[in-house]
Structure 1
Amino acid sequence: MKISELSRRTGVPVASIKYFRREGLLPAGRATAATLAEYGEEHVQRLRLIKALTTLGGLSIAATRDVLTAVDQAETTDGTLRAISYALPVPVTAASAGDPDRDAQAEAAARADVADLIARMDWEVADSSPHVQALTTALRELRRLHADYRPEGLVAYAELAHAIAGLDLERAAALGDSPALAEQAVIVLALSGPVIELLRRLAQEDQVRRRSLG
């Protein structure tokens, strides 16, 4: 197909397709003339993935390039999911300014709590995981607000999160190693957070209304 057809099928403007190609995100088409090229289904799939990363995932062009490289190098479904999970923006609570010594103590205490929770859940998590540091920061800031969430209290939440993660991976596993895996993985991982949070709020609303009516 010509670039105009590729644009029509993907909803990506021709100018953007050319930009993605210059930035190394999209492979070049098969040259048919000095200024013409033919594109195939692999280009359609790659453009959809780029759109998912930049719009749903909110990634920059540079970050998108890194993810695409990692996805291309991944040899398994798990490798693809790991690459995308680590690349997507991590929700991190902004740190508050305070006493350095107290901050250091709070950081150490929060980090110990996270390690304790991971051990209780028997989760296999890399020490370098950005999610570990993000949770550490969140717990530290909650403590600053006198809203402690200790490991024993977080286990019930972690078990629910574990079940949700299992559902996410089941959706991805159903795709096997199909070309749509990476695109669908971005959609699941990028959108599942907001969807789960909205379901949580709807459930809270339901329970508050029931209590008030009771």
Structure 2
Amino acid sequence: MRISQLSTASGVPIPTIKYYLREGLLPAGEQTSATRAEYGESHVRRLRLIRALLEVGRLPIAAIQQVIAAVDDESLGMHEVLGTAHYAIAPAVEPHPGDEDWRRARVKADDLIADLGWRIHPDAPTRDELAQALLTLDRLGMPASGESLRPYVQTAVDLVEHEIGTIPLRGPREAAVEALVIGTVVRGRILDILRRLAHESASAHLLDDSGE
């Protein structure tokens, strides 16, 4: 297909496609003349992935380039590719190793992960995310123990057992990463919304005598 047809098939404007080509996010098409190139379904898949990373994951171009590089690196297994995407969409957390409270929270996070038997990379940004959340609870006078977090752990395990089955691990890498990003970000929002709805409903049952 020509670039105009690629634009129609992907929903991405031609100037944006040309920008992705210049940035190396989209591989060049097959040159058929000095001014024309042909594109295929692999380019449509790549554009879908870029849109997912940009519009859903809210990633900057530099981070998208890292994810794309992992997708294209055939020496990396799928676990490493998905991990690169996971780490890219993780919120930025600045560690404070000089802060004793921070160090204790990070040890607490690492101990919790170890107790669960989860295989998490030592440098995973999610370790710092968890430490920051635990530190916040501590400073608000609501410290979290392993026991108090057990319902959240079990919910996470149940969700992931379902979600991992929705990722097309045997198909093109772009499709797997796209499904991971959309599933993590959008379904994560749905989970938060459903939780807040459930809170309102539970509150109504317990506290609202109006019958509405």
One fold, TM greater than 0.5? yes
Residues 114 and 151 in structure 1, CA contact (< 8 A), matched pair in contact too: no
Within a 5 Å distance, the mapping from 1:43-58 to structure 2 comes to 43-58=43-58
Task: Please give the TM-score of this superposition, normalised by the length of structure 2.
Answer: 0.89
Query: One-letter code of the match for 1:62?
Result: A
Task: Work out whether 1:32 is the aligned partner of 2:32.
Answer: yes
In structure 1, the residue matched to 2:68 is 68
The secondary structure found in structure 2 opposite 1:123 is coil
State the Cα distance separating 1:91 from its structure 2 match: 6.5
Single out whichever of 20-29 and 189-198 deviates more from structure 2.
Answer: 189-198
For 1:209 and 1:8, the matched residues in 2 are separated by: 49
1:210 has 2:205 as partner:
yes
Match of 1:149? Answer: 144
Structure 1 runs (4+) deviating above 3 angstroms are 74-77
Residues 1:84 and 2:85 aligned together:
yes
Q: Deviations over 1:106-164 (max 9, x none)?
A: 11221222122112311111111100011111211221121211222112211211211
Percent of paired sites with the same residue: 38
> 133-142 or 13-22, which moves further after superposition?
133-142
Residue identity in the other structure for 1:165: V
How many matched pairs? 206
* Counterpart pick for 2:113 among 114, 118, 140: 118
Correspondent of 1:177 among 160, 166, 170: 170
Q: Give the Cα separation in 1 of the matches to 2:127 and 2:169.
A: 28
User: Gaps spanning 5+ residues in structure 1: where?
Assistant: none
Alignment gaps of 5+ in structure 2? none
Greater shift after overlay, 63-72 or 75-84?
Answer: 75-84
RMSD: 2.1
* Residue-by-residue CA offset, 1:65-117 (whole Å, 9 max, x unaligned): 1101112225544333222111113265x89xxxx99x722112212221221
SS in 2 for 1:158: helix
Q: Which residue of 2 aligns with 1:106?
A: 101
Give the whole-Å Cα distance in 2 for the aligned partners of 1:104 and 1:9: 52
